[in-house]
Structure 1
Amino acid sequence: MQLAPGLHRVGNDIVAFHLIETADGITMIDAGLPGHWSDLLAELSSMGRTPDEIRGVVLTHGDSDHIGIAERLRRDHGVPVHVHAADAARARGEVTSHAAGGPKRLGAMLGFAVYALRKGGAKTNRLTEVVEMHDGDVLDLPGSPQIVGLPGHSPGSVAVFVPLVDTVFVGDALTTRNVLTGVVGPQPAPFTDDPAEALSSLDALSALDAHRIVPGHGAPWSGNIPDAIRLIRGPRGVANG
């Protein structure tokens, strides 16, 4: 699905990852679940591109629902996978999060679980090799993605700012659809290691000249980033009936 010129989405409001398309190739932001492989191929075909044109995967963090097809791309197509140094062990499966999910609504929770299972969430392919990145890096990949540290959801959680498409990809540093409650609108994400640190880290987004926030879960949000941050720190969205 094309969100804007040069910006494509694979997946849906439950789990999504994104493609930055340029004449020099493609940068992939996050990597969904293992079963998203066929969805990736379908989106690339609609673009007239192939997996061999993906120049790199940039992970917003190392959780299982963000790394699903990264190892397959690395192993079969030689695509380097970039992750913050503080989440490298998480992406390799050497450490895991034990963060509590928070409030739940049965329908939303079951919807997330069923979708994740259907997309192979029980068969996570951990990374065997990663390229470590750090706060402030500008990666030599299509779109020149800029790395902004947002620790809290995980130690190495980051935003990926791509001025070419006027978008900041935030992974689970925030969400616009809580997968456990169905609540929509900018809000803290569930399963966050350190919720207080995650809220504090959002200040780093305020300086970015972007007008689109794209989370890993939920619809893209367009508007003023400080406004989104105020919403996150205030009332928690609107119930998705």
Structure 2
Amino acid sequence: MRLAPSIHRIGNDIVASYLIVTSEGITLVDAGLPGMYADLGRELGSLGRTLDDIRGVVLTHGDSDHVGFAERLRREHDVPVFVHAADAERARGGDKPKNPVGPMRLGPLLRFAAFGLRKGMRPRWLTEVREVTDGDTLDLPGRPLIVGMPGHSPGSIAVYSDAVRAVFVGDALTTRHVLTGRTGPGPAPFTDDPAEALASLDRLAGLDADWVLPGHGAAFHGSPSKAAEAVRAATRG
């Protein structure tokens, strides 16, 4: 799905990954669920590109619905996978906190479960990663900048590309709550430290972008500061 000339999405409002498309190649932000690998191939085909055009995968964090097919790309196409050092073990399948589920509604829960069953909820965990940290600018298409956003997980990040005027936020915020169906910017479920996640939104305020792109929900077409304020408003109820 084309969002802008250099930004494409695979997946949907339940689980999404993104492509930064440039003449030098493609950077993939997150790798969704394993079955989205076929969606990636179709999207690349529509662009006249192949898997060999992908120069790197940047994971916003190490949860299963973001790791997805990353290891397959790494093994079969030698694509490097980047993850924050604090989430490297998580991306390898290490233990994570058993967070409270919180409120849910049956319809959205069933849609989330059905999509997971169709696309596969069990990733092939990574066996090799390249660790990044806050402030790193990666030598990848779009020159992605790593912005530390701890809270959802210790190594959660946003990926900012001035070249495409977008910030990819993973689960630092969501625009569709997968368990309740609530739409609009809000906090993500399954968050390790909700207070820290809320505080991390301050990191978005200084970013000059036209798009805020979450791992769950519709693209937010507006400034990161407006998206962050909308999340805070949602938490105030």
| TM norm structure 2 | 0.97
After superposition, give the CA deviation of every residue in 1:85-130 in whole Å (9 maximum; x if it has no partner): 0000000012223112211001001110110111011x32100000
Aligned equivalent of 1:4: 4
In 2, Cα distance between equivalents of 1:31 and 1:237: 32
Aligned equivalent of 1:146: 145
Aligned equivalent of 2:76: 76
In 2, Cα distance between equivalents of 1:65 and 1:92: 13
Query: Aligned letter for 1:198?
Result: A
- Equivalent position SS for 1:159: strand
Aligned equivalent of 2:98: 98
Give 5+ residue unaligned stretches, structure 1.
none
- Equivalent position SS for 1:56: strand
After superposition, give the CA deviation of every residue in 1:207-239 in whole Å (9 maximum; x if it has no partner): 00112100000001012322222211123699x
Whether the aligned pair in 1 keeps the contact of 2:150 and 2:156 (CA below 8 Å) is yes
- Equivalent position SS for 1:142: coil
Q: Which runs of 4+ in 1 moved over 4 A?
A: none
After superposition, give the CA deviation of every residue in 1:149-208 in whole Å (9 maximum; x if it has no partner): 000000000000011111000000000000000000000000000000000000000000
In 2, Cα distance between equivalents of 1:219 and 1:39: 17
Is 1:60 the counterpart of 2:56? The answer is no
| TM norm structure 1 | 0.96
Give 5+ residue unaligned stretches, structure 2.
none
Aligned equivalent of 2:178: 179
Whether the aligned pair in 2 keeps the contact of 1:71 and 1:128 (CA below 8 Å) is yes
In 1, Cα distance between equivalents of 2:50 and 2:190: 34
Aligned equivalent of 2:16: 16
In 2, Cα distance between equivalents of 1:75 and 1:100: 34
Aligned equivalent of 1:235: 234
Is 1:111 the counterpart of 2:111? The answer is yes
Aligned equivalent of 2:208: 209
Whether the aligned pair in 2 keeps the contact of 1:175 and 1:189 (CA below 8 Å) is yes
In 2, Cα distance between equivalents of 1:99 and 1:85: 21
- Equivalent position SS for 1:214: strand
Whether the aligned pair in 2 keeps the contact of 1:33 and 1:119 (CA below 8 Å) is yes
In 2, Cα distance between equivalents of 1:183 and 1:236: 13
Aligned equivalent of 2:168: 169
Is 1:44 the counterpart of 2:44? The answer is yes
Query: Aligned letter for 1:65?
Result: D
The two structures, once aligned, show a CA RMSD in angstroms of: 1.3
Aligned equivalent of 2:134: 135
In 2, Cα distance between equivalents of 1:227 and 1:9: 22
- Percent of residue pairs identical: 63
Query: Aligned letter for 2:73?
Result: L
In 2, Cα distance between equivalents of 1:235 and 1:2: 28
Query: Aligned letter for 1:68?
Result: G
